[in-house]
A and B are shown apart, each in its own frame.
Chain A
Amino acid sequence: MADQLLVATRKGLFTVSRRSGGWAVDDVAFLGDNCPIVMHDPRDDALYAGLSHGHFGNKMHRSDDGCTTWTEISTPAFPEMPEGYEPPVNPMTGKVIPWKLKLLWALEPGGADNVGRLWAGTIPGGLFRSDDRGETWTLNRPLWDDPRRNEWFGGGYDEPGIHSIAVDPRDADHVVVGVSCGGVWITQDAGASWTLGGKDMRAEYMPPERAFDPTIQDPHLIATCADHPDVMWVQHHNGLFRSSDAGVSWTELACETPSSFGFAVSAHPHDPNTAWFVPAVKDELRYPTDGKLVVTRTRDAGASFEVLTEGLPQDHAYDLVYRHAMDIDETGDTLAFGSTTGNLWLTSDGGDHWASISSHLPPIYAVRFIKRG
């Protein structure tokens, strides 16, 4: 059972710990700095934090002593554009997709057998790999150079980005990547080649003849069942989807109460039929339906959903939960999520009851339990 939680926010990285009286915020690093992403590596217990300085660009830091001290390490950087290279143009804006790091958006360990390997996803849609604990990074050119990337476009951000990286615990060379808006991409050879998944995903925001085009889907987040990694869940821009073939094809799930829009999703680590979502009204109305904050849970592979409210505000709550701002521990019983309005909630019984940990943190971007391998 996890007893420590990292909360990455607009104004620093907070540590939340379990105490005898419950969970409480007990420390902060990078106070005042924008921290969009944080990762715990269960292989060597290292912590990684991405900072996005408004003026000074994106930086990465690593802690090898449990958040006490941090060392700045290398940040993924785009190489020089080759002579004569024609960069893709964002089809929605007509502007060239930049070859510059705008945001470090995803960080994942690269598999149990590859200690030191990390994957990073960025805006614009670059996938980077490090084999030395973030000391150096290499842009994955096969995905970056795939001509189908020309179809990608930005969602909430102007440029497309990689926010989800799922490394198969059975085979670390098998990696599934989620792109907004660019669908689901699959490699079986550690990034040497890529195939496009996302079959049967549906995009309401496109003309009907392109609704099922896998290159323009907007999977807001991909979550994988740790014990059954062929089972994946997606909170998509306009619906919920589940895959039982590791992202190749998807089934849309009916969940209209209160809505099927949102960003966050957590998969139960052991039960392939259970997942949690935090819905908001819709894309243009990013707040909980009727001002009532709820979590939806399915325990039957998406055939039905429960609406969980116990301990969550049901009156004038306008919290939005970003895609990386919910996490689940290794037991599947403890979940935590944080909101744009700085609220942090936690449950120890799978969502039946929630407790407020803090109601005055900065806007929360990412929440990660420290899980012991």
Chain B
Amino acid sequence: MPHVRVTRNLQRHVTCPPQDVAGDTVRAALDAYFELAPDARGYVLDEHGGLRKHMAVFVNGTLIGDRSTLSDPIDERDTIDIMQALSGG
């Protein structure tokens, strides 16, 4: 199952531990993750479900291409990192 990790800086605000989740796209995996950590959703995604402007999502160390609908495909052995962009601070 894809593994999701979240920046420690977000863990200061809400509970969001690393989790293995199901899903074959970034969207599906993050939806599954936010089922487990619902308070984190609004900190990562905006009100329309897109990635917040100053957040970054990596799959195996590579930035995703689709920040709006999160349609990038993923494999069950992939690791998704939810990070802050260096902008926005």
Residues of A within 8 A of B (CB): 53-57, 59, 72, 75, 77-78, 80, 99-101
Docked CA distance A75–B42 (Å):
9
Residues of B within 8 A of A (CB): 9-10, 13, 39, 42-44, 46-48, 52, 54-55, 84-85, 88-89
Contact, CB under 8 Å: A54 / B46: no
Docked CA distance A72–B42 (Å):
12
Contact, CB under 8 Å: B10 / A56: yes
Contact, CB under 8 Å: A57 / B48: no
Contact, CB under 8 Å: B46 / A55: no
Contact, CB under 8 Å: B48 / A54: no
Contact, CB under 8 Å: A55 / B54: yes
The distance from the CB of A71 to the nearest CB of chain B, in whole angstroms, is 11
Contact, CB under 8 Å: A100 / B55: no
Contact, CB under 8 Å: A54 / B54: yes
Docked CA distance A75–B45 (Å):
13
- Residues in chain B near residue A101, CB distance under 8 A: 46-47
The distance from the CB of B82 to the nearest CB of chain A, in whole angstroms, is 10
Residue among B39, B48, B52, B84 making CB contact with A80, cutoff 8 Å: B48
Docked CA distance A56–B52 (Å):
7
Question: Knowing that A54-B89, A100-B47 are A-B contacts, what are 4 other residue pairs whose CB atoms are under 8 Å apart, sorted by A's residue number?
Answer: A55-B54, A56-B52, A56-B55, A57-B46
Contact, CB under 8 Å: B88 / A57: no
Q: A54-B54, A55-B55 in contact; A77/B88 too (CB < 8 A)?
A: no
Contact, CB under 8 Å: B89 / A57: no
Contact, CB under 8 Å: A55 / B52: yes
Docked CA distance A99–B48 (Å):
9
Most buried by B among A78, A100, A101: A100
Residue among A56, A72, A77 making CB contact with B47, cutoff 8 Å: A77
- Residues in chain B near residue A53, CB distance under 8 A: 13, 43
Docked CA distance A75–B47 (Å):
10
CB-defined A-B contacts under 8 Å, sample of 28: A53-B43, A54-B54, A54-B89, A55-B9, A55-B52, A55-B55, A55-B84, A55-B88, A56-B10, A56-B13, A56-B43, A56-B52, A56-B55, A57-B42, A57-B43, A57-B46, A57-B52, A59-B42, A59-B43, A72-B39, A75-B42, A77-B47, A78-B48, A99-B48, A100-B46, A100-B47, A101-B46, A101-B47
The distance from the CB of A237 to the nearest CB of chain B, in whole angstroms, is 28
The distance from the CB of B51 to the nearest CB of chain A, in whole angstroms, is 11
Docked CA distance A54–B88 (Å):
5
- Residues in chain A near residue B13, CB distance under 8 A: 53, 56, 59
Docked CA distance A55–B40 (Å):
12
Docked CA distance A53–B46 (Å):
13
Docked CA distance A93–B74 (Å):
38
B47's closest neighbor in chain A, by CB?
Answer: A77
Q: Which 4 A-B pairs have the closest CB atoms?
A: A77-B47, A56-B43, A54-B88, A55-B84
The distance from the CB of B13 to the nearest CB of chain A, in whole angstroms, is 7
- Residues in chain A near residue B48, CB distance under 8 A: 78, 80, 99-100
Contact, CB under 8 Å: A55 / B42: no
B9's closest neighbor in chain A, by CB?
Answer: A55
- Residues in chain A near residue B52, CB distance under 8 A: 55-57
- Residues in chain B near residue A55, CB distance under 8 A: 9, 52, 54-55, 84-85, 88-89
